[in-house]
């Protein structure tokens, strides 16, 4: 099982606008293996959601995938036709969006939406599909599913609706689930239930999950590995414990210090000066250089690539920062 | 910091009428329906401290905030600020003078600033309204000073709000709140619309200003980690009631009310890497028909018969029959 389920190579997404071409994603590469949860964090505009949309082929015009490859289970999917992609979506990649109210159709009963999805992707008969739907609702923890299956989305609370959306994503037993801010619209006590659910299902079925969120707390608890994004690039990627406890990239370091924690005793939070650059004016060299406290000449000229700092293969910890480029230092010396 | 309380909130209540329209009520024979958004909340805020209210959505935090500043009339109870009642007609003149000293910062900096006004006009509005400073040149100088104070440039005054990022807009809102030399600032989720790195900047700024001017904050948030960082004392709300009031750090080291414990268990935190958590059961019930007795009893692990019948009163800052019993038996 060393073959990753999802492999993204040098993915670049561009938006063509009147004011020129904006590069929302700039050469992103990562892998997710079976049963693994990859957390993707970053601030608004870092490109987290675009990454998810690009993988499932839902980039709207004027956006387009300008380069790179998306490989799902050994097969390229970024260059498939619309029809072929529609078969991949839902069947092989499940999706969970932020707002459960807008991802369910308010005019159809929850059961009908589940049954329709099941029948689209499998050969089950109507009654078998209904049984399967009830079974899925049980699995995601909805009480009295035999009765609730005939309810409309507005009759469910926010947390229950998100459970239905998860059931919907699981219909065709996908290999990969992309969850875009699945708990952001929910209260903390419900959020914890949803996180636990996603974790359990993924462990039981061996589904790979890409969890996009801006909440480091959620990542800390759910993810196996985490990728920190900044201005359309991956700044740091590695096992969740290493990245949180021992972040290397100055941006990731600042980000971890900026988050108030229940167990820290700092009087002041770490402050990163300034804010994320607009896509139209990403600085030359390292995109973070104007805000970085360890900036040196090379950062202003040359864009850093991911450098492995620890571990190997899937557990490696990599950082895109010139500070960790040993070869560069030796070459200069 | 003196022990005398600056803000006194006593038995505050607010009921919203959520009935269907008159014709529907007649045709469907449905009764009027009321939602008790805030149901008997009492607390004190001392001068120079930060009192935080936490709770999930629908617990009534924001309604309390709006009543404290006077944006919403209470259905019952009283708010006294510096000894002056906000509701009695007798104190109308004093209340007018008090208004200058109270300001509010809202959650969404995209909605709380007038998009058609330039920043200097937004910030100078309270100065002009309360006639804090007379004379155009002095007002301009004061606006520049306020902008510098919140980390912006005096020249930013001629710009419009849309030219600023979310964090910068929240800085403008803070400058506006300080413009009338306010002493008491009610902050309703001031950072929940911001990214974490920007949130850190705003929280640090709010702390610096508090130290510099001896400001008193009522800080509303759903984020426990933020509250822990900011608050001197914390009140936890559940379904319109205050279930626990506690000194800041104590709430986290020794939570007493079962709801507080549940909430603390549920918060995802950086320190939680790879740790298993206690499962949280259930959701906030519908506030139109809240459970009998203690409203938390259907979700409470310590529930016993009395909780289903009788609503608990706060003893030593905790409103819970089980906790009160345990302390009583320990003392006996």
The strands making up A6-17's β-sheet, listed across from edge to edge, are: A20-32, A6-17, A63-72, A75-76
Q: What percent of chain B has pLDDT over 90?
A: 38
pLDDT number for residue B272: 63
Work out the average pLDDT over B172-194.
Answer: 91
pLDDT number for residue B121: 93
Work out the average pLDDT over B184-211.
Answer: 90
pLDDT number for residue A260: 83
How many residues are given for chain B? 332
Strands A63-72 and A176-180: unpaired
pLDDT number for residue B3: 59
Say whether B199 and A258 touch across the interface (CB within 8 A): yes
pLDDT number for residue A308: 86
| Gap from B129 CA to chain A (nearest CA, Å) | 33
Collapsing DSSP to helix, strand or coil, A176 comes out as strand
Give the integer Cα–Cα distance in Å for B9 and B65: 11
Work out the average pLDDT over B54-69.
Answer: 88
Work out the average pLDDT over B174-180.
Answer: 93
pLDDT-based confidence at residue B176 (cuts at 50, 70, 90): very high
Which among B222, B225, B263 is the nearest to A261, CB-wise?
B225
CB A241 within 8 A of CB A221: no
pLDDT number for residue B65: 92
Nearest Cα residue to B302 out of B267, B268, B262: B262
Work out the average pLDDT over B97-102.
Answer: 87
pLDDT at B173 over 70: yes
Q: Which DSSP category does B199 fall into?
A: H
* A282 C-beta neighbours (distance < 10 Å), count: 17
pTM: 0.82
pLDDT number for residue B193: 81
Q: Which DSSP category does B270 fall into?
A: G
Tens-digit pLDDT profile for residues B266-279: 877 776 665 556 66
Strands A233-239 and A307-310: unpaired
What residues of chain B lie within 8 A of the CB of A259, using their CB? 196, 200, 225, 270
pLDDT at B135 over 60: yes
Say whether B273 and A258 touch across the interface (CB within 8 A): no
Tens-digit pLDDT profile for residues B18-57: 888 888 888 888 888 888 889 989 999 999 999 999 988 8
Tens-digit pLDDT profile for residues B139-161: 999 999 999 999 899 988 999 99
Say whether A275 and B197 touch across the interface (CB within 8 A): yes
pLDDT number for residue A330: 46
Record the tokens describing residue B186, joined without a space.
């009610």
Say whether A220 and B201 touch across the interface (CB within 8 A): no
Q: What percent of chain B has pLDDT over 70?
A: 95
| Gap from B86 CA to chain A (nearest CA, Å) | 33
Residue owning tokens 């807008």: A102
Query: Which positions in chain A have a beta carbon within 8 angstroms of at least one beta carbon in chain B?
Result: 43-44, 157, 159-160, 187-193, 195-196, 214-218, 220-222, 240-241, 244-245, 254-264, 266, 268-272, 275-276
Residue owning tokens 């938006």: A15
Q: Provide the residue-wise pLDDT of chain A in tens; the chain has 333 residues.
A: 467 899 999 999 999 888 888 888 998 999 998 889 999 998 888 888 889 989 988 888 888 888 899 999 888 888 888 888 888 888 899 988 887 778 899 999 999 999 999 998 888 899 999 999 999 998 888 888 888 899 999 888 888 888 899 999 888 889 999 999 888 877 777 788 888 888 888 888 889 999 998 888 888 888 999 999 999 999 999 999 889 888 899 999 888 888 887 777 677 888 888 778 888 888 888 999 988 988 888 899 888 988 888 776 667 899 999 888 876 544 443
């Amino acid at each position: 099982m060393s073959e990753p389920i999802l492999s993204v190579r040098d993915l670049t997404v561009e938006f063509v606008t009147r004011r020129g071409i904006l590069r929302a994603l700039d050469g992103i590469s990562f892998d997710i293996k079976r049963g693994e949860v990859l957390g993707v964090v970053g601030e608004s505009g870092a490109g987290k959601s675009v990454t998810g949309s690009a993988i499932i082929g839902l980039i709207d015009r004027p956006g387009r995938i300008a380069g790179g490859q998306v490989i799902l289970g050994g097969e390229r999917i970024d260059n498939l036709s619309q029809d072929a992609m529609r078969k991949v979506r839902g069947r092989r990649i499940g999706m969970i969006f932020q707002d459960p109210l807008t991802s369910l159709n308010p005019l159809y009963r929850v059961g009908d939406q589940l049954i329709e999805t099941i029948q689209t992707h499998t050969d089950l008969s109507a009654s078998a599909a209904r049984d399967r739907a009830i079974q899925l609702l049980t699995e995601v923890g909805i009480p009295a599913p035999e009765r609730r299956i005939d309810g409309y989305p507005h009759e469910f609370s926010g947390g229950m609706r998100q459970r239905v959306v998860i059931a919907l994503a699981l219909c065709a037993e996908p290999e990969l689930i992309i969850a875009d801010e699945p708990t952001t619209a929910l209260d903390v006590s419900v959020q914890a239930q949803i996180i636990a659910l996603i974790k359990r299902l993924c462990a039981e079925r061996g589904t790979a999950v890409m969890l996009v969120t801006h909440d480091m707390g959620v990542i800390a608890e759910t993810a196996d590995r985490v990728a920190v994004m900044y201005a359309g690039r991956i700044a740091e990627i590695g096992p969740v414990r290493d990245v949180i406890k021992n972040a290397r990239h100055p941006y990731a370091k600042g980000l971890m210090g900026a988050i108030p924690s229940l167990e820290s005793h700092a009087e002041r939070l770490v402050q990163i000066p300034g804010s994320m650059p607009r896509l139209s004016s990403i600085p030359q060299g390292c995109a973070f250089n104007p805000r970085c406290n360890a900036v040196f000449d090379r950062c202003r000229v040359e864009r850093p690539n991911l450098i492995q700092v620890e571990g190997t293969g899937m557990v490696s910890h990599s950082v895109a920062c010139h500070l960790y480029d040993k070869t560069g230092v030796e070459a200069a010396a | 910091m003196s022990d005398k309380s600056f803000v006194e909130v006593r038995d505050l209540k607010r009921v919203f009428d959520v009935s269907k329209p008159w014709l529907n009520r007649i045709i469907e024979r449905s009764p009027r329906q009321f939602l008790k958004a805030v149901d008997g909340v009492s607390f004190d805020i001392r001068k120079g401290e930060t009192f935080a209210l936490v709770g999930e959505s629908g617990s009534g935090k924001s309604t309390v905030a709006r009543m404290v500043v006077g944006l919403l009339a209470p259905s019952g109870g009283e708010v006294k600020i510096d000894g002056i009642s906000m509701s009695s007609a007798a104190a109308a003149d004093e209340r007018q003078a008090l208004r200058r000293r109270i300001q509010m910062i809202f959650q969404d900096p995209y909605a709380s600033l007038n998009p058609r006004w330039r920043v200097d006009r937004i910030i100078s509005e309270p100065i002009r309204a309360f006639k804090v400073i007379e004379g155009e040149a002095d007002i301009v100088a004061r606006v520049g000073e306020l902008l510098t104070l919140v980390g912006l440039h005096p020249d930013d005054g001629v710009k419009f709000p849309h030219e600023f990022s979310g964090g910068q807009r929240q800085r403008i809102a803070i400058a506006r709140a300080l413009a009338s030399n306010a002493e008491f600032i009610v902050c309703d989720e001031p950072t929940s619309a911001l990214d974490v790195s920007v949130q850190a900047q705003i929280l640090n700024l709010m702390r610096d200003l508090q130290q510099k001017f001896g400001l008193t904050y009522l800080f509303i948030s759903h984020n426990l980690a933020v509250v822990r960082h900011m608050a001197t004392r914390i009140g936890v709300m559940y379904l319109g009631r205050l279930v626990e009031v506690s000194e800041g750090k104590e709430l986290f080291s020794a939570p007493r009310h079962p709801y507080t414990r549940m909430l603390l268990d549920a918060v995802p935190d950086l320190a939680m890497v790879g740790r298993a958590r206690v499962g949280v059961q259930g959701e906030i019930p519908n506030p139109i028909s809240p459970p009998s007795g203690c409203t938390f009893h259907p979700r409470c692990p310590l529930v016993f018969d009395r909780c289903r019948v009788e609503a608990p009163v706060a003893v030593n800052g905790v409103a819970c029959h089980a906790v009160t019993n345990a302390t009583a038996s320990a003392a006996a």
